[in-house]
A and B are shown apart, each in its own frame.
Chain A
């Protein structure tokens, strides 16, 4: 099992080369854009990279990135918790699902910008608004995935577990929610990205500090290279959380899918 984990990590690191190749293509296109339009519109990748390095040298920028990441994660965590619980409930009880559907449509239909305005009125300009915006943006995604995962579970396994003597709590945790992870995980990955995007937007609009406010400052100074550097930093933070936390968790839980794949069909 430990060797399997090591092999998985090895494969993952190896697949990093492919990612690097993709990034190089991206950088090349960027460089071409830079050469066509000049530094004022689109600074060169190297230039931007230099700004990133300069930013990273200052402890203050670390603090700013951490602040944004923390707010995004707080909103994400709240949405993941509430969404999973409510979705599980709705998955087991179609009546609750029918009641919740219009709410979800409403949440998805209201533009995030409107939420930010409302939340600024309710929470003022601060962590509350930013995290709440992130949570509101993530909640429907998580809820729908959780409900879908429970609703499409294999009911035969429930009966089997009951016959084997598992109580309702253990059945919920070990059979029902275990099957839910299959739809929940992709939704969590998507929700995490949404949380970062929504947080930065809320920070920008509410002047609530963090990366969003730095972006606003860069815009005011027409400093494109600084703006791009902040964007790169926040994307890096998102990727760190996703590949450092969510994907290993997912790989651990989905070992059996790996095993079920026929020989030679490996990613």
Chain B
């Protein structure tokens, strides 16, 4: 079953076209990575898909129960303690008292936040801890679909792996689906079932590749070799590592 379907979606900011003719579908239990160079419109696409931005053209069909969004920045409320920030993920549901506290502690330990950290304000956390709190805020709602917008770019290598493992784990065990946006091809190869490449200028999806074997069964060697193979041998990935923002018209 397709949980998320985008049909001919297009968008423009102040008359400048950012996205055009985007078609994509994500089925249940599938984690799809979307890669593309910086400034190609990945975040805009994620926001449209999550219903935070109304697209100028096209339609978005959502058939999942509940979604969560992990943004590029942590977006924590600076005046609330970490525990309350994570609890905000439950805003759409009625969960009170004990159940809430249990969920909170379970999800905090999953993202390796310690008990003492929960009492701190975001300003008292390190950058990585803030992003982990944001991830916990998404996971606590037990969504069946998650939008990830380059959530791990700010984390160090060890933590990044740990977080990727959590994502892979959640997908494998709770049948979660998601759209995982990244500019890091090896991250995409590591965790996704399928990789979509956004056109360098946002003019449609340039192509799609299925990653062999399953997430969670891939070791470092496989990830490294597959990424190198994609980058060197597949024309589809030729622009993924371009670092120049597209020039203004």
Binding site for B on A (CB under 8 A): 154, 156-157, 159-166, 170, 175, 178, 253-256, 259-260
Contacts and interface: CB of A to CB of B under 8 A. Distances in A.
Interface string B145-163: 0010000000000000000
Interface residues of B, number: 26
A186 B162 CA distance: 44
A170 B91 contact: yes
Nearest to A171: B91
A164 B88 contact: yes
The A contact surface, by secondary structure, is helix
Interface of B: 47, 50, 52, 66-69, 71, 73, 75, 77-80, 88-89, 91-93, 120-121, 123-124, 137, 141, 147
A161 B75 CA distance: 9
B181 to A, nearest CB: 14
Given A164-B88, A164-B141, A157 B75 contact: yes
Nearest to A154: B75
Q: By CB atoms of chain B within 10 A, which of A159, A170, A178 has the most?
A: A159
Contacts of A253: 79
B75 A165 contact: no
A89 B20 CA distance: 34
Given A162-B52, A170-B91, A259 B47 contact: no
A162 B78 CA distance: 17
23 contacts: A154-B75, A156-B71, A156-B73, A157-B77, A159-B52, A159-B75, A160-B69, A160-B71, A161-B91, A163-B147, A164-B88, A164-B92, A165-B91, A165-B93, A165-B141, A166-B91, A170-B91, A253-B79, A255-B79, A255-B121, A256-B123, A259-B121, A260-B123
A160 B73 CA distance: 10
Nearest to B71: A160
A95 to B, nearest CB: 17
Nearest to A178: B79
Contacts of B124: 259-260
Contacts of A255: 79, 121
A156 B66 CA distance: 20
